[in-house]
Chain A
Amino acid sequence: MTTETTNDPSKLLLKTDRKIGIIGYGAYVPRYRIPGEDISMVWTGHKTGSPVKEKSVAGIDEDVITMSIEAARNAIARAGIDPCELRAVWVGSESHPYAVKPSGTVVAEAIGASASIQSGDWEFACKAGTEAMVAAIALTGSGMGRYAMAIGMDTAQGKPADALEYTAASGGAAFIIGPAEEAVVEIEASYSFVSDTPDFWRRAEMKYPEHGQRFTGEPAYFKHIEGAARIMLDGMKRSPSDYTYGVFHQPNPKFPQRVAATLGFTPEQIKDGLLSPDIGNTYAGSAMIGLTAILDIAKPGDRILMVSYGSGAGSDAFSLVVTDKIAARRELATSTAEYIARRTQIDYGTYLRYRGNISME
């Protein structure tokens, strides 16, 4: 696959005919936390350090559908629209509760959306939610519909004793895309960069994913995030210093810090959206919930660069500008920081029970 089709990066950017933006956003983090050192104690007797302080764990009665419903309700509260005005309710995840039966239709009925919507589920590892965002941008930017909702949510699967068990977490965010004149954040452009890369997968009917040895870093995460971010920056004729915030997919704390530094973002620019030390990697929700934490504190005129990453592999980059509607809307729902502060620590046994990892048969 060739990586560029033109020498002019501005021609690669995805821009809409109508100006559009995020008119409502909502986060969700379940209340349970397991410290990384508890996982280390069980499998290595504390000999291995954890990449995160702790990770969020969905409760026994939670899954991607229930968590999406709560994030979606928060987004509706902030948008201040009648849910019947939505023309799409899309859920991106790698933990859809059913193999066949859409998550989106349950979420749509629970939030009071009408029957006149698109509602297919999305899957592209950790960028399924931002892929749905691009589709929502296209649907509203073309004038096909006024509002569309894109959700990135996961209850990520970590195989016991695997390196990913320390970080595979639960949480995510919902965004309602609509006309720029109603937006809390204007979306200037998006750009997506993908290739066939075997870094991480889960075969059909398998409970846990596998990862492809050394593919995880350079040829996967770094290549795609840097590829998407550089085309976006060059295409917009901007440098990282033109952005107040950068937020990147965060499988751990180290990768986003390193990719930010490589691109030229300072630690100050990424610290408010970097949630993985406290909640772990929420997979399809990871970059998106980082963005919600930024929107909870951003000021009008602030520019934000968001770049997701999904294994298999690809990245979606978004160039965003905060509008003056942000201050009044953000108070209308629970903030991301409030969800993170609402925590109950659980032990490893309870964690196994909540994640359905104790066989009763």
Chain B
Amino acid sequence: MEVPRHWRLKQQRYALVGEVCPHCDSKIFPPRDVCPYCGEEAKTQYTMSGKGKVYSYTIMRDAPAGYEENIPYTVAVVALEEGPMVTAQLTDLGDKPVEIGMPVEMVTRRIRQDGDKHGMLVYGYKFRPAVRA
């Protein structure tokens, strides 16, 4: 059971809440309180727009424990409009093949259940092809 971890990370996972550096204005995700670009303290909350492009991707046919329900699924590195790179599942692909550079948008989805059917439901960000590209 990883209830405390899910609870601790919920804000960034539900809504891509990261940080903005007050010194160099870089947008930071996931939040880490120190700017990776200028090394200064950065604790100001900043919610990413959720818009981005597929930077790279792969298809998972043999899922790690807890993710078997969704196989096969696509995992992508998404370059957010604000700069940070995020690794996440793609969803709602429909008949469209995934392409590098494809515009995507963040949606909050059910990622998995913690343990078995008695466990809490874990929600978090995935990306889908932009509805209004």
Of B15, B126, B132, the most chain A CB neighbours within 10 A belong to B15
Judge whether A110 and B123 touch: CB under 8 Å: yes
Q: Which of A18-26, A62-70, A292-300, A316-324 contacts B (4 or more CB under 8 A)?
A: A62-70
Distance A65 CA – B94 CA, assembled complex (angstroms): 22
**Across-interface contacts of A66 in B (CB, < 8 A):** 107-110, 123
The residue in chain A whose Cβ has the minimal distance to the Cβ of B121 is A97
| Binary flags per residue of A89-105, CB closer than 8 Å to B gives 1, else 0 | 00000000110010000
Partner of A338 from B11, B69, B94, B131 at Cβ < 8 Å = B131
**Across-interface contacts of B132 in A (CB, < 8 A):** 334, 338
Judge whether A109 and B109 touch: CB under 8 Å: no
Distance A69 CA – B10 CA, assembled complex (angstroms): 14
Distance A106 CA – B10 CA, assembled complex (angstroms): 9
Partner of B110 from A30, A61, A339 at Cβ < 8 Å = A61
Distance A232 CA – B116 CA, assembled complex (angstroms): 49
Interface size for A (C-beta < 8 A) is 24
Q: Which chain B residues (77-133) contact chain A, with CB distance < 8 Å?
A: 89, 91-92, 94-95, 107-111, 120-121, 123, 126, 131-132
**Across-interface contacts of B108 in A (CB, < 8 A):** 66, 69-70, 110
Distance A28 CA – B132 CA, assembled complex (angstroms): 14
Helix, strand, loop or mixed for chain A's interface? loop
Q: Does B57 contact A (CB under 8 A)?
A: no
Interface size for B (C-beta < 8 A) is 24
CB distance from B110 to the nearest CB of A (A): 5
* A61-B95 contact in complex given A66-B108, A110-B108, A334-B132, C-beta closer than 8 Å: no
Q: Does B55 contact A (CB under 8 A)?
A: no
The residue in chain A whose Cβ has the minimal distance to the Cβ of B131 is A334
Distance A110 CA – B126 CA, assembled complex (angstroms): 13
Q: Does A325 contact B (CB under 8 A)?
A: no
Judge whether B110 and A342 touch: CB under 8 Å: no
Judge whether A61 and B131 touch: CB under 8 Å: no
Judge whether B15 and A112 touch: CB under 8 Å: yes
CB distance from A9 to the nearest CB of B (A): 43
**Across-interface contacts of B107 in A (CB, < 8 A):** 66, 70
**Across-interface contacts of B11 in A (CB, < 8 A):** 109
Q: Does A327 contact B (CB under 8 A)?
A: no
What are 29 A-B pairs at a CB distance below 8 A? Answer: A30-B92, A31-B92, A59-B91, A59-B92, A59-B109, A60-B69, A61-B70, A61-B109, A61-B110, A61-B111, A62-B110, A63-B110, A63-B121, A65-B110, A65-B121, A65-B123, A66-B110, A69-B14, A69-B108, A97-B121, A98-B121, A110-B14, A110-B15, A110-B123, A111-B15, A112-B47, A334-B131, A338-B131, A339-B131
Name A's B-contacting residues (CB within 8 A).
30-31, 59-63, 65-66, 69-70, 97-98, 101, 106, 109-112, 334, 338-339, 342, 344
Top 5 nearest A-B pairs by Cβ distance? A110-B14, A61-B109, A344-B94, A69-B108, A61-B110
Given contact pairs A70-B108, A344-B94, enumerate 17 new A-B contacts (beta carbons under 8 Å).
A30-B92, A31-B94, A59-B92, A61-B109, A62-B110, A63-B110, A66-B108, A66-B109, A70-B107, A97-B110, A97-B121, A110-B108, A112-B47, A338-B131, A338-B132, A339-B131, A342-B94
